[in-house]
Amino acid sequence: MRELAEVRLMQGNEACVQAALDAGVRFFGGYPITPSTEIAEGMAEKLPALGGKFIQMEDEIASIASIIGASLAGVKSMTATSGPGFSLMQENLGYACMTEVPCVIVNVQRGGPSTGRPTAPAQGDVMQARWGTHGDHPAIVLSPWSAQETYTLTVKAVNLSERFRTPVILLMDEVVAHLREGVRMPDPRQLKLIERPRPQGGRENYRPFGGALDEVPAVADFGMGYRCNVTGLVHDDVGHPSGSPQVTNDLIRRLSGKVEAHRDEIIDYELTQTGDADMVIFAYGSTARTSLRALKLARAQGLKVGMIRPTTLWPFPEKAIEEVAERGIPILVPEMNLGQLVLEVERIAKGRSLVQPLSRVDGELFNPDEILEAVKELKPVKSRKSSKKEGI
């Protein structure tokens, strides 16, 4: 039994393992890939003592298939990979969306495209995490900036996947995955854990894929006696394949609707000194760490810089942008990619404030000075109004 609120020096990847175990994950199917491998290795070591199962599958396609299978059997399940493996998982990721199977997929991003730079940090999979599989589908994507937050968001990922019966993606970057820092481990007994809704009534009224457009229907584990049919074809509320336009419409809208309707439950972001800010940095993952340093440097020079740091990338935290855009405050969006989430910032800003992308794609972290420089060059679009709400 571990001490309450113990502090341990951990890699982000190690924190992810511990959090998953604490959140009740008892099945891991994976395939090694840098820079995520420590997660598989940690699971291989730690799951068995908890009665959990680790399996190294023949590839990433089989890995995600195995965790969907395990989850159908009622066990909280996870896999971890990086870009190339994440690309391979896309088909079955869509299957998990379609069949509403809770599971967590960790993607520790590395330099892409293709094999790219396996050990270099990057944030190039942000749009893929939203759109990588074919067809309309929901996406919940969380991104931590520290080992501590990796713990927190891993627990949250497991919870959200159960809550909404949908795959959740934990999108890490190589720096967060590999750095070691202190993680305060909560008492696992005090963690708030969520279990997928399970049916109460008899088999007759069991509708594992039914409900209103914002509803998450209850689902039975295989073996519970509900004799459920699960298919990636469009299916009716009991799971039989259907070619009906009405059934199709309702299913496709509900899959996304059940997530969209609960954006507020899912979305989270941190505001730093946005209240009096003349300019704002929007950053996530390890880029936000550099940005925070840049913010401090800027403030030290008397510049009123604030920061929005989303931990939920998808659904996109529109409100956070709305509030700033309304005030006409320019937004700098540094990303270790050619400009991905900035597209969404631009879309929401609707031209009300300047949105300035800042890209780094050389496999190195931003350094604080270059962000500081970029902040200094921001020019507001319109005269700003002062904010009613106050950030940190």
Partner 1 sequence: MSFDVMDYFRQETLPHIWCPGCGNGIILRDFAVALERLNYPRDEVVIVSGIGCSSRAAGYLNFDTVHTTHGRALPFATGIKLANPNLKVFVIMGDGDSSAIGGNHLIHAARRNIDLTAIIFNNNIYGMTGGQFSPLTPRDKKATTAPYGMIEQSFDICRLAEGAGATYVGRATTYHNQLLTQLIIDGAQNPGFSLIEAVTHCPTSYGRRNGMASPSDMVRWQKDNAVWIDKVRAGKAEVKDGQFTIGLLHRHEAPEFTQAYMEVIKRARGQE
Partner 2 sequence: MPADKSEQVQQNPEQMKQTWPDPLQIQLSGSGGQGLILAGIILADAALSEGYNAIQTQAYGPEARGGASRAEVILSSDLIDYPHVQRPDILLALTQEACDKYLPSVSKEALVIVDSLLVERVPETQANVLQLPIIQTAKQDLGKEMVANIVALGALNRAAALVSPEALEKAVLKRVPKAYADLNKKALEAGEKLVRL
Ligand X SMILES: Cc1ncc(C[n+]2csc(CCOP(=O)(O)OP(=O)(O)O)c2C)c(N)n1
Contact set with ligand X (CB under 6 A): 31-33, 60, 84-85, 88, 115
Residue 74 contacts partner 1 per CB under 8 A: yes
The two beta strands, 167-173 and 140-142, are parallel
The two beta strands, 6-11 and 180-185, are antiparallel
Interface region with a second copy, contact rule CB under 8 A, candidates 6-14, 107-115, 197-205, 208-216: 107-115
Closest C-alpha among 18, 24, 16, 14 to residue 2: 18
Residue 275 contacts a second copy per CB under 8 A: no
Please state the closest distance from residue 244 (CB atom) to a second copy, in A.
8
Residue 382 contacts a second copy per CB under 8 A: no
Q: List Cβ neighbours of 130 (8 Å cut-off, separation of 6 or more).
A: 139, 141, 313, 314
Closest C-alpha among 155, 148, 139, 152 to residue 76: 155
Please state the closest distance from residue 283 (CB atom) to partner 2, in A.
11
Structure tokens that stand for 367 in this block: 């350094």
Residue 128 or 159 with smaller CB distance to a second copy? 128
Residue 125 contacts a second copy per CB under 8 A: yes
Contact 124, 110 (CB under 8 A): no
Quick one: which of 61, 234, 261, 303 contacts partner 1 (CB under 8 A)? 61
Residue 33 contacts partner 1 per CB under 8 A: yes
Give the x-and-dash track for 167-206 against partner 2 (CB under 8 A).
-------xx--xxxxxxx-x-----x--------------
Please state the closest distance from residue 262 (CB atom) to a second copy, in A.
16
Quick one: which of 293, 299, 376, 384 contacts partner 2 (CB under 8 A)? 293
- How deeply is 184 buried, as exposed, middle or buried, from its count of CB atoms within 10 A (0-12, 13-18, 19+)? exposed
Distance CA 126, CA 337 (A): 9
Distance CA 126, CA 107 (A): 10
Other C-beta atoms lying within 10 Å of the C-beta of residue 283: 28
Buried b (16+ CB within 10 A) or exposed e, 333-362: bbbbbebbbbebbbebbeebbbbbbbbbbe
Q: Which does 285 bind (CB under 5 to 8 A by kind): ligand X, a second copy, partner 1, none?
A: none
Quick one: which of 106, 171, 228, 307 contacts partner 1 (CB under 8 A)? 228
Residues between 48 and 107 that touch partner 2 (CB under 8 A): none
Quick one: which of 202, 223, 245, 302 contacts a second copy (CB under 8 A)? 245
Q: Which does 68 bind (CB under 5 to 8 A by kind): partner 2, ligand X, partner 1, none?
A: partner 1
Give the x-and-dash track for 344-373 against a second copy (CB under 8 A).
x-xx-xxxx--------xxxx---------
Quick one: which of 51, 243, 245, 302 contacts partner 2 (CB under 8 A)? 243
Distance CA 171, CA 80 (A): 10
The amino acid that residue 179 corresponds to is: L
Contact 195, 225 (CB under 8 A): no
- Residues of this chain that interact with partner 2 (CB under 8 A) are 7, 9, 34-35, 117-120, 146, 148-149, 152-153, 156, 159-160, 174-175, 178-184, 186, 192, 243, 265-266, 268, 270, 286, 289-290, 292-293, 296, 311, 365, 367-368
